[in-house]
Each structure stands twice: as C-alpha cells, then as structure tokens.
Amino acid sequence: MNFFEHQDQAKSQTKKLILLLALAVLALIIITTLFVALLLHYSQGAALPSTAQQNFWQNFFSLLDWHLLLSVAFVVLAVVLLGSLYRISQLRQGGAVVAESLNGRLLNTADCDLKEKRLLNIVEEMAIAAGVPVPPVYLLDETGINAFAAGYQPKDAVIGVTRGCLEQLNREQLQGVIAHEYSHILHGDMRLNLRLVGILHGILLIGLIGHMLLRSGRHSRKNGGGIALFGLGLIIIGFAGTFCGNLIKSAVSRQREYLADASAVQFTRNPLGISEALQRIGGYPASSSIEAENASEYSHFYFANGLRNWASGWYSTHPPLDDRIRRIDPRWKGAFLSQKSADLELNSNTQASQNTEQSANFSGFAATASTSTTRSETQQNPAHASTSQGQHLSAQNISAEIGSPSETSIAAAGQLLDSIDANIREACHNPASAMAIIYGLLFTEAAKLEQESYIGIHAPKPIFNLYKHYLGAVAALPIAQRLPVIDLCLPSLKALSEPQLTQFRGVIIGLIKADNHLSLAEWCVFRILQNYLFTRKKSQGKPLDIADCDVEIDQILTLVAQQSSTSSQQKAYNNALTSLNMEARELGAQAAFSTLDKSLSTLNRLKPLQKPRLLKALMLSIQTDGVIDIAEYELLRVIADGLDCPMPLLH
C-alpha cells in the first residue's frame, strides 16, 4: 500500500469510526431514556414489578413517548458534543499539547546529552528523507520504552520519546521506533487519534456529571436520595459508553499499529531494528509503561501498550508483542532480549557513537569543500550543473517513495545533513539565529542595502547582528541544502510567540518587497513558511477530481514547464498534458504568484488517489530533457508540499 492509498484508507477509516461512535451514542440515548422513564415511574409511587402488579410494565412503557425520547436525546447529544468540542479545542494547537500533558520536555541541542543528540539526529534524517518538516521532539522522563507521534497534520506534529527508549535502545532499534512514528505522521493516523480523544471525552462527560450528582445527592437534605440514584445511574451509563468507545478505539488502533510496523520496515529496510526494539520491551522489567496521570487518555498514540496489565487482550490498543514481532521477523524464536544484554550493547554503541562524532568533525570539512566546488561549477553553468550527478530517475520510482522514504533516501539525508556547515546547522536549533538564517535565505544582491536597512529597523538588534554574522555562510549554501535548512529551522521557529511570529512574517514580506520583485526562490521560501508556520486558511469544499481543476492544473504545469530550457518548455508542457489526458495547447504565460497560491489551495482538495496523477505529470515534465535539475526538483517539492504530499529527497 502506498502513501496515497494510506491517506484514502485513513479517510475511509474515519468515516467508519464516526459511524461506530454514532451508534454508541445512539445506544447511550436509548439506555438513558429507559433509565429516566424508570425513575419517573418510581417517582410516581410505583412499586417493584410483581405477579400481582400486572399493569407495571404497561404503565412503565406508557412513559416512553417521543417527547421523553427527544428530550433525553437532546441532552445526551448536547453533553457529548459540547464535551467533545471542548476537548478538541484544547487540542487544536496540535501535538505539543499532548506531549506537555504527558510531562514531556522539549529537546534543544544546546542542552542535550549524547543520547538526546542521537535521537534528534535520527528524527532530522527521517524528516529530510521523507520531505516533511522536522517535528519538535519531546522527552518523557519515563523508565518504560515507548514513543508517540501526535498532531493533526505534519506541520503541527511532534514526536515524544521516553527516557527508557533512549537508555535501552541502540541506534538501529531507535531508528525503527522513529520510523514507526513517522508512519503515523505520514499516513493520517494522528488526526484520527486526536479525534478519538475528543469524542471519547464527550462520552466520558456523562459519567463525570453522574459523579457530581452523586456527591451532591449525599449532601442534599431535599430529594437527596433521588439525586444520588440518578447520579449513580449516569455513572453506570457513562462507564458503559466509555467502555464501548474504548473497544472501538482499541480495534482501530491495533490495525493501524500493524500498518505502522510494516511501514517502518519499508522505510529503513531493516526489520531487525523495530523487531529488536519490541524484543527489548518484552525483556525489560518496566516494559513500555507510562506512568503520567492521564496516560490512559492517549493510550492509542503509543508505540507499545503504555498501560499496565489490565489493558490487555481485546481491550488493548496494541497487538501482543509476540504477534507484532513474528509479523516482522517470522524466524524469531520467541525469546525476548534481556536487560543484561541491553546494557552491554548500549555501552558498546555509546562508545561507537562517540568515535563516529569525532570522525564526523573531520569529514565535515571535506564535505564543505566538496559542496563549495559544486557551487563554483553551478555558477559557471547554472542550467544543468546542479543535477543529481547524471542519475536518470523515473517518475514511477520517485512517486513510489512519496510517504515511503527508501533506505537510500535516509542515507542520503544523513550525508546531506553532515555536509551542511556545522555552525549553520547548530544555529537552526535556536529561535533567534533560525530567524536570522531565514532572512539570509531571502538575500538579494541587488537589494542588499535596502534589505539590511529594513532588518535593522524592524527586527530586534540581536537578530540583526546574527543576520550579519551568518549571511555569508547562508548565501553560499548550495541549492540542495536550502530546503533542508528551512526544515531544520522550523522546530525552533514554532517556539516563537504569536507577536514574535507576526513580526517575523512582517520582516520576511519586507525583505521580499525590497527589490519590488517576487522571485521564484522567494516564493518557494514563503510558501513553506506559510504552510508550516504562519496561519493559513485551508480551502474548504468537497473533494475534487482532476477533471474539475483544468485551469488550476494548467497554471501549475505552466510554472514547472517554464523552468526547463527554452527549447524544451513546450515539449515538457505537452508531456504533462498527455499524462493527464488533457487537450494539447500552446504554452502560455506564467500566472501571478498570488494566483498560483489560490490554485494550489484548490488542488489540495483533490482526492488522495487523484494527487499522484498530477505529481507524476509534473515529474514527467521536469524529466523531458533527460536530467533532473535540483532547482526544478526543489520547486516540485514545494508544490507537493502545498498538496500535503511529502516528496522524497533527490538522491
């Protein structure tokens, strides 16, 4: 199953989930109606049913009219909906809310130890390889081996990892865990998980109201017994509703865990990594437990079952460990990895990591020298020097890697990150210097004085000084490093307050306007920031087909085709049109960037299985001259980003 099929299945799964939960709420309404009718019957002086009281049930059912049913339905629906909407509003900021509620601490390289830096490096490699923004990483001070991904979509996703995960897993095992979490990010599972939290909170609220009435009834002198009885009934009804809701949650979650395990193997091409991580959990005394107060609310988020033994079997949100391991590694003999072997292996890997970091400090100089040479060659022949070193990649192969980065992509991402100037990479992890780096990416030689003056006036002085400090290194970045550097900056920039973000956005717009011209490179930078950092109103409406978007598609095809050499533009355009079964036409003028923004917003509404057709057409367009130019491919990645389709790193 590919990325687009996963997305389509997630939408289908959401519809089924809503239907099942709607049936659960309907059952609550019926049970509550019966309970209220019974209370009313007794309040009118009815005794318990007996053989002598033949009209008991007749009188009872006479109370079950439409007025009572509609009244109870209105109250139950109001409680569930208001409770759900309240909880969803609390979670609207995305995964950070979940991580912080589990007492997670945001990691920053400035105060990280070696194991934490290893974790951040793995997360960055996976993000760059998959073509998604680097998510913030939170550390939970828990001894159990566990992790989670949370958020509505990649732009607000976070990854949380327990201390036990860092202490007990080596790099390959930790990479398997992180790849599993990236599957949840890429395949639409996170949104489903957050919606489950909101809806189940609404159902739980019925029981909470029952607790309040029970306590109130105990202290009430007037009708205290009736109030307490009514409260007790609501507690039982609320518990039954929550129980059914959790059963639905568990059934959905177990299936998604199997898919995420399979995707993790597909990403890393290393079944032993995730298999041994699960074996570590099975042989570790603390297992995968999470002791945070509200750990049960997010039980379906975790890599492994974070709750104690009572949440097992068909009520568990995760399949049994041995079942998951055997699906990944059929040759597994059933023995979990012991604590002693984990300690020995961890010490060995820690020493190896230290040696690797020391050698990386020397290899970084060679990588920097290599990229400098490449940039010099690019400036001499800008048309095709920045290519994938002669590789001829097919549109089919690239499409297959969308949402499923290959082992080669991950390795290439690691090499790319190592080639980035160490000072620049370190600066990306600080909010102030990250802003300065983004300003540097918008540098225009013709407007150098105007841009410097604008930053000096509208940005805080420390950031202005950082801008001047890093400008030379940022301006010298090769094309292939520009988007990854933005991705590295995003977690730090997300830590900015709303006023800081507003000021940051204003300075960016001022820098773009400094030369009275919006270039394609500037538009690309702003599109990424707009999508992942600044508030962007998502286009609303029904899902669309390719046939519904002729004008918008034509504008995007024109933009991409015009990046080819003059002699190849019409052919590139024709290849894309043919791929989409669209009528042949003459290549027109490029639309204004504001119009392209609106077109991408509309095209984002394409059905999941329609988007790969458009991306394939764009890839065929840039392949027309037989070579994939990095600048063209990075533009394609920005367009795919606007469609919420993560394009893999070119390798």
Active site residues: 181
DSSP 290: -
Cβ within 8 Å of residue 47, ≥6 positions away: 53, 56
Contact between 256 and 303 under an 8 Å Cβ cutoff? The reply is no
Measuring CA to CA, how many Å separate 416 from each of 125, 374, 412, 485, 650? 9, 14, 6, 10, 11
Q: Give the DSSP letter string of 451-491.
A: HHHHHHHHS-HHHHHHHHHHHHHHHT--HHHHHHHHHHHHH
3-state helix, strand, coil in the chain (%, to 5): 70, 5, 30
Phi, psi of 285 (to 5 degrees): -55, -40
Q: How far apart are CA 320 and CA 598, in angstroms?
A: 47
Q: How far apart are CA 596 and CA 556, in angstroms?
A: 7
Q: Which of 299, 409, 395, 280 is nearest to 346 (CA)?
A: 280
Q: Are strands 104-106 and 147-150 parallel, antiparallel or unpaired?
A: unpaired
Distance of CA 200 to the CA centre of its chain: 21
Measuring CA to CA, how many Å separate 127 from each of 124, 170, 403? 5, 20, 11
DSSP 299: G
Type of residue numbered 369: A
Q: Which of 428, 488, 404, 16 is nearest to 185 (CA)?
A: 404
Phi, psi of 223 (to 5 degrees): 60, 30
Cβ within 8 Å of residue 431, ≥6 positions away: 492, 493, 495, 496, 500
Contact between 605 and 541 under an 8 Å Cβ cutoff? The reply is yes
Contact between 134 and 491 under an 8 Å Cβ cutoff? The reply is yes
Cβ within 8 Å of residue 367, ≥6 positions away: 415, 418, 419
Q: Name the residue with tokens 């306007």.
A: 513
Q: Name the residue with tokens 């002598």.
A: 52
CB under 8 A, 24+ apart: contacts of 537-543: 538/601, 538/604, 539/601, 539/602, 539/604, 539/605, 541/605, 542/605, 543/605, 543/606, 543/607
Contact between 438 and 532 under an 8 Å Cβ cutoff? The reply is no
Cβ within 8 Å of residue 270, ≥6 positions away: 172, 175, 176, 407
Contact between 568 and 384 under an 8 Å Cβ cutoff? The reply is no
Report, in angstroms and rounded to the nearest whole number, the Rg of the chain calculated over CA atoms: 29
DSSP 138: E
Total residue length of the chain: 651
Cβ within 8 Å of residue 19, ≥6 positions away: none
